Amino acid sequence: MNNAGNQRKYSRDHRNSIFNYLGKGELGGKAAGLMQIQKILENENLHSDINEITVSIPGMTVILTEVFDQFMKQNDLYPIALSSSDDVFIAHSFQKASLPPAIVGDLRDLITKAENPLAVRSSSLLEDSSSEPFAGVYATKMLPNNQPDIETRFHKLTEAIKFIYSSLFFSESRDYFRSIGRKVEEEKMAVIIQDVVGNHYGEDFYPLISGVGRTYNYYPVQDSKREDGVINLALGLGKTIVDGGSAWIYSPLSPQSPPPCNSNKSMLDNSQREFWSIKMEVIKEFNPISEMEFMRKQSIEKAEDDGVLSLLCSTYDYQNDRFISGIQEKGARLLDFSPILKYKKIALNDILKKLLHICREQYQADVEIEFALEKITAETSGESVYHLGFLQVRTMQTLADNGNLSQLEYLPSALLAESSSVLGNGRRDDIYDVVFVKPDTFSAINSRTIAREIAEINRELTTEHRPYLLIGFGRWGSSDPWLGIPVTWSMISGAKAIIEATLPQMKPDLSQGSHFFHNLIAFGIFYLSIQEDKKKTIDWNWLNEQKIIRETDHVCLVRCSRNMEVIVDCVANRGVIVK
């Protein structure tokens, strides 16, 4: 068992990270947010009573926006970028282009000095705004940066930068711009090159914990309130959370309280079972136009072999139907972070509460932050301590209170659906079309096919400017097809109201940390969650009586003879769809 994890060594002043810049122009939204928070971290005393965790923004270099302009013009790429060409052709065209000579020497110097894996991330001008966040629209590339020769490492870095540039013009991005009524040529791209937070474990590199924290909770449960906030934690790279995978969710004001589940078995079923890492072994076949070129998904059994689960898990005691904190006993592992959240082996939650408070005060608005935790060795004492890498901050759109909209009572026969777990506030009465996944034949094994069928129908309806209600099962936008239907934002861009229903074979918890979810909020899409084991349900018989416009193996589009009315009240947490 690899208990050490090849820990990095840092001095205690590691929190003083360095920002570097290449070229001229602007930082872009993501980099500007980190710069703003860096100044605050330098003045805040986060470590006075929490000595085992340091906090910093990992060292980063930003390629400013004028470099993007030079790259596009000197290679005459706009005719290809703005054409109707597919993503693969655009990506290959960008790979054949040359970066501006003025930054090539600086990039070579950067890669010569870089010793750890690197994340190459977008930081466009429009990115990370609250109204149009562009969450997950552009690419990110993880590089192991471990090839023995500088030339190969330099080549992989330049490939990654050009891939980030090209992602601005991919179909996902073009559809996003179309949905907000803007032109893609208005955008400019800066690029962040940043140290990845994590440790080496054999042929893998990953952080102990990745997370997303929000000062506003869209789904408060039990005694918690919206303003208490919410935090998602996961083992490994943060892709698990932002792609809508299984992660632990809790309120920072009550970290010991588990999420509401019907049973311990249900909690286990919804627990994280896999995590993302960077591949560190020698790779013989390269794919520069793949975001996943150097990433892979691993089982948590691999993490247990790496010796990282002792702070992250509880173990299920089958005989007594209970969970025991830690992994001393044999049994199924639950990634509930109990040793940290319940027994405070590390004061992680205290640091996160401080960071969320600081960021909210700075922006005078609710915020979302992304972070990652790694194990390090202090140079002076040789003791194991921890470093929290602050990766991103953005403002959030919260739910406006426009008065109580759901006081009207309806007979059950008048409703297509009713929910007591909703997002949004208001009403609309311009929807005639319903796109729904067929419940009788649904199987998670067909989730990817279902996503493609929905995308085709969405394309037709958006061309005809017909808003629609979308109904499906599991977690919309999850990258894991066993948790829900893995649509991207462009695949459902015409939907103005969405129902996320469950079935006995698919009942994941609601997701708040995903990029898909963030866009859902930003665009004001009405959202209703309906649990199959609750009294409130969907009138499938009425849907099946409507006129069928298009039908595939798994999806049906029907058109109603009269408009439906969607009413959503975030204050009362109630939503109805009136037939």
203 part of a folded domain: no
Q: Is 482 helix (H, G, I), strand (E, B) or coil?
A: coil
* Same-domain check for residues 314 and 422: no
Q: How many domains does the chain have?
A: 3
Among candidate residues 137, 163, 195, the one where a domain is terminated: 195
Write out the two tokens for 115: 């010793």
**Helical ranges in 97-237 per DSSP H:** 101-113, 150-167, 171-179
* Same-domain check for residues 63 and 150: yes
pLDDT digits over 328-381, tens only? 989 999 999 999 999 999 999 999 999 999 999 988 999 999 999 999 876 666
> Do 444 and 478 contact (CB within 8 A), yes or no?
no
| Band of pLDDT at residue 13, cut at 50, 70 and 90 | very low
pLDDT digits over 122-156, tens only? 998 887 555 555 666 888 999 999 988 999 999 99
399 part of a folded domain: no
Direct distance between the N- and C-terminal alpha carbons of the chain, in angstroms, rounded to an integer: 60
* Same-domain check for residues 472 and 565: yes
Return the residue matching tokens 């299920």.
316
Return all residues near 442 (Cβ < 8 A) that are at least 6 apart: 450, 473, 503, 506, 554
Q: What is the DSSP letter of 503?
A: B
* Same-domain check for residues 123 and 158: yes
Among candidate residues 164, 195, 226, the one where a domain is terminated: 195
Considering only residues 398 and 138, tell me which one the structure prediction assigns the higher pLDDT: 138
* Same-domain check for residues 90 and 160: yes
* Same-domain check for residues 228 and 121: no
Label the pairing between strands 495-501 and 468-473: parallel
C-alpha to C-alpha distances, 550 to 105, 395, 431, 485, nearest whole angstrom = 56, 40, 17, 19
pLDDT digits over 79-92, tens only? 999 998 999 999 99
pLDDT-wise least confident of 18-32, 371-385, 469-483: 371-385
Q: What is the pLDDT of residue 128?
A: 58
Among candidate residues 166, 195, 224, the one where a domain is terminated: 195
* Same-domain check for residues 181 and 229: no
| Mean pLDDT along residues 453-475 | 92
Q: What is the pLDDT of residue 404?
A: 57
Strands of 118-124's sheet in order across: 19-22, 60-63, 189-195, 118-124, 140-143
* Same-domain check for residues 179 and 255: no
* Same-domain check for residues 44 and 184: yes
371 part of a folded domain: no
Q: Name the residue range of residue 550's domain.
A: 412-578
Q: Is 491 left (phi over 0), alpha (psi -120 to 50) or beta?
A: alpha
